[in-house]
Amino acid sequence: MFDLVYFSSVSENTKRFVDKLGSKAIRIPLKSEEAAEFVYERDNVLVVPTYGGGNDGSTVPKQV
């Protein structure tokens, strides 16, 4: 089986989506300094929000 891992910004739109799935989920920390120590080594499905439509090099948050 797999685990559900997600990143959600301060808007928490992705968190609300994941909550509606009704499955246990692990959130990637929002703060970069906390996320630097986050390691998840089990099979998982990663859920992330979309950013910037690919218009620049920072469309994926560093935490992810």
Higher pLDDT, 59 or 6: 6
Please tell me the pTM assigned to this model: 0.76
Task: Tell me how many domains the chain contains.
Answer: 1
SS3 content of the chain, % helix, strand, coil (to 5): 25, 15, 60
Asked whether residue 32 is domain-assigned, the answer is yes
Q: Is the pLDDT of residue 61 over 80?
A: no
3's tokens? 């685990």
Mean pLDDT, the chain, rounded, equals: 86
**Span 11-30, pLDDT tens digits:** 899 999 999 999 999 999 99
Asked whether residue 62 is domain-assigned, the answer is no
- DSSP, collapsed to helix, strand or coil, labels residue 27 as strand
Asked whether residue 10 is domain-assigned, the answer is yes
Structural domain containing residue 38: 3-50
pLDDT of residue 52: 63
